[in-house]
Amino acid sequence: MCEDIDDSVMGMPLIGDKFPEMVVKTTHGMINLPKDFAGKWVVLFSHPADFTPVCTTEFVGFAKKNDEFEKIGAKLIGLSIDQVFSHIKWVEWIEENLGVKIPFPIIADTGAVAMQLGMIHPSKASNTVRAVFIIDPTGIIRLIIYYPQEVGRSIDEVLRAVKALQYTDKNHVAAPENWPNNDFLKDRVIIPTATDYKTAMERKKKVGKGKDCYDWWFCTKKI
């Protein structure tokens, strides 16, 4: 159950908002979000229900990538509207039958957290959608992904997104489609667009003289 949720936060939070403070019950005990993870990136992901096939494949996928998330300073947290006893039994089933240990906590939500974060699936009772919230070390929501119940997520894409956010924050650049494996830019990143005429004209001179600039508004660099 969720012990304490800030009722002053109304409506679904958006990218750039502070993640609402809450105290939640999990398979690893009570957790204060986002306070207990200050200084860390957090990947909070919901699933429709325990003991369901697609969710099981996702949890196995997240578990197998857990060490990679840990290496980049990111913590995984699952969530569904199930009792903690159901979570524990499901985690036990996954380990016993699939040989995969679930190392991250799972929130046992009564529906309060899912409602506050906009996770409830329309017309499907209390089941949650496959939502992903990526929260930065300061508690700001940086990315939100929503999938329907019928489609499982790509864990590699979630991991890639965290890495891209970390790199662009550190280097003040933008990441192209599928970075660092873009079809024509490869692992190059995009530098901020020129905002004054002089800089724009200087960049325009570089067009056609290599891979740096395609136009004054589209310049890249090697990472």
pLDDT tens, residue by residue, 21-51: 999 999 999 999 999 999 999 999 999 999 9
Q: Which CATH code is given to the segment(s) 2-153? A: 3.40.30.10
Torsion sign (Cα): 110, 4, 47, 63: negative
Token reading at 93 = 């089933």
How does 4-18 read in b/e, with b if 16+ C-beta sit within 10 Å? ebeeebeeebeeeee
pLDDT at residue 161, as a whole number: 98
Alpha-carbon span 177 to 186, nearest angstrom = 10
Task: Give the Cα-Cα-Cα angle 35, 39, 45 (nearest 5 degrees).
Answer: 65
According to DSSP, the β-strands at 141-147 and 189-190 are unpaired
- Catalytic residue numbers, as ranges: 55
Q: Which helix (H) or strand (E) holds 190?
A: strand 189-190
pLDDT at residue 11, as a whole number: 65
81 vs 11 pLDDT, higher one: 81
Alpha-carbon span 133 to 26, nearest angstrom = 17
Residue 87 half-sphere exposure toward CB, CA atoms < 13 A: 27
Which residues have a Cβ under 8 Å from the Cβ of 213 and sit 6 or more positions away?
203, 204, 206, 207, 219, 220
Domain spans in the chain, listed from the N-terminal domain onward: 2-153, 172-223
Query: Hunting for tokens 């204060």 — which residue is that?
Result: 32
pLDDT at residue 129, as a whole number: 85
At residue 154, what are phi and psi to the nearest 5 degrees? -95, 115
Percent above pLDDT 70 for the chain = 92
Residues 90-106: tens digit of each pLDDT: 999 999 999 999 999 99
Residues 109-167: tens digit of each pLDDT: 998 999 899 888 666 556 788 999 999 999 999 999 999 889 999 999 999 999 999 99
Rg (CA), the chain: 20
User: Average pLDDT over the chain, rounded to whole?
Assistant: 92
Q: Which CATH code is given to the segment(s) 172-223? A: 3.30.1020.10
Alpha-carbon span 175 to 220, nearest angstrom = 10
pLDDT exceeds cutoff 80 at 209:
no
Token reading at 54 = 């697609």
pLDDT at residue 5, as a whole number: 47
pLDDT at residue 119, as a whole number: 87
Q: Is 111 exposed, middle or buried (0-12, 13-18, 19+ CB in 10 A)?
A: middle
**Coil vs helix vs strand at 69:** helix
Average pLDDT over residues 161-178: 98
At residue 146, what are phi and psi to the nearest 5 degrees? -125, 130
Query: Hunting for tokens 């119940």 — which residue is that?
Result: 149
pLDDT exceeds cutoff 60 at 66:
yes
